[in-house]
Amino acid sequence: MPRLIDPPAGSALDLDEVIACLDESGVDLAHEDSIARCTDLLAGLQRNRDFLADRVIAALKASYADQLEINRYSAQVFLLHRNPRGFYLRANLWPAATDAVHVASGAAAFSYGVPHDHNFSFLTTGYFGPGYVSDYYDYDAEYVDGRLGEPLGLRFVERSSLTEGRMMLYRAHRDIHSQLPPESFSVSLNIMDEGEHVPWRDQYIVDLEAGMIARRPTLTSGEILLRCAVHLTGNGRDIAEQFAKAHPVPRVRANAIAALAAVAVDPDAVFEGGMADSDTRVRDDCRRRRAR
C-alpha cells in the first residue's frame, strides 16, 4: 500500500508560500530529500483551514476561467498550481454516495470501484471530511510485462480512509487501490510528480477477482492522431509505419500497428508483422487484435 508518512509538526502555511517553495526546489518524489520537503509543505498547507475556501470563492467570482485554462482533469479536480518543471498541486473533491453529483454521474466518474495503480508518484493528505475509503494492494512491477490478462501477484494490505491530516505517498507502479465513496463530502490535497516520462508509462486497471491487468487506459494525443492520419493521407501511413518500427515506447508501436491494420487490405498480415516485435506487450496486443 502507499507509504504512510507522519506529518511533521509546524504552523500553517499560506498557499503562495508553498507554491514559491515548490517552484524553487522542484519536485522529485523518487528522492527522499524532495519527499521530505514536500511533506513539510503539504502538512503546513493542510493546517491552513481557510486557503481552499478562499481560492474556491475567488475562482467562482472569476467564472472559473483559470480552472478551465489549466485543468487537464475532470471537474473533480481543483488545480491550485502547475509548474512547467513537471509537477503540480491540486485539491481533489470526493462526493459521498448520497451527494447529488454522485447520484447524477455515477461512481465511475470519480474512479470509485475502479481498481488501479498510477504511472506517477504523488503525495496526498486528507484536508476535509472523513476521506475516501480504499482497499489497498501491493504488486511488484519488476516482474510484470504489462500484458492484458497478465497476473499481478496482488497482495491485499488493508482497507482504510484518508482522514484529515493523514498523509501517504503513492508510488508509481507499486501501489494499487480500489476507492469507495467517503461517508460525507471530503477533500484531499495532492502534490503530483508530472515528468515528461509520465505519458509514456502505462497505467493499469485491475481485475481484482482474477488478480490481473484488465485495461491500460493511458493514451497520448499522438496515438489518437495516428488513427486519424492513416485515414486522411498517404503521408500519415508513412509516419505510422515509422512509429510501428522504431518508436521507443512499446504501446505506441502497438497502436501504430493497429492504425495501419485499420486501413490495410490484409490486416492479418499487418498484425503478423507486429508479432515479430521485440516487446512482449506489442506481440500480445497484435495477437489479441488479430483474433478479434
The domains of the chain, with CATH numbers, are 3-215 (2.60.120.10), 221-291 (no CATH)
Per-residue pLDDT band for 280 (boundaries 50, 70, 90) equals very high
Kindly state the average pLDDT of the residues 36-51. 97
Kindly state the average pLDDT of the residues 18-35. 95
**Cβ-contact 8, 40 below 8 angstroms:** yes
- Match 503478423 to its residue by C-alpha cell: 272
Distance of CA 262 to the CA centre of its chain: 29
SS3 182: coil
Kindly state the average pLDDT of the residues 140-163. 95
Query: What's the mean per-residue pLDDT of the chain?
Result: 93
d(CA 214, CA 205): 6
pLDDT at 1: 87
**Cβ-contact 55, 45 below 8 angstroms:** no
Percent with pLDDT over 70 in the chain: 96
d(CA 31, CA 34): 6
* Biggest CA-to-CA distance, the chain: 67
Kindly state the average pLDDT of the residues 278-286. 97
Beta strands in the chain (DSSP E): 3-5, 77-83, 87-94, 122-128, 133-138, 155-161, 167-170, 175-180, 186-193, 205-207, 212-215
pLDDT tens digits, one per residue of 207-265:
999 999 999 999 888 899 999 999 998 888 999 999 999 999 999 999 999 999 999 99
Low-confidence winner among 10-14, 49-53, 199-203 (lowest mean pLDDT):
199-203
d(CA 225, CA 273): 22
pTM for the model: 0.89
Which has the closest alpha carbon to 163: 1, 283, 46, 250?
A: 46
Which has the closest alpha carbon to 177: 132, 236, 117?
A: 117
pLDDT tens digits, one per residue of 54-112:
998 888 777 655 655 555 556 789 999 999 888 999 999 999 999 999 999 999 889 99
Statement: residue 198 has pLDDT above 60:
yes
**Cβ-contact 176, 116 below 8 angstroms:** yes
pLDDT at 60: 79
Which has the closest alpha carbon to 46: 128, 148, 110, 140?
A: 128
**Rounded alpha-carbon distances, angstroms, from residue 27 to 19, 34, 104:** 11, 6, 36
Percent with pLDDT over 90 in the chain: 84
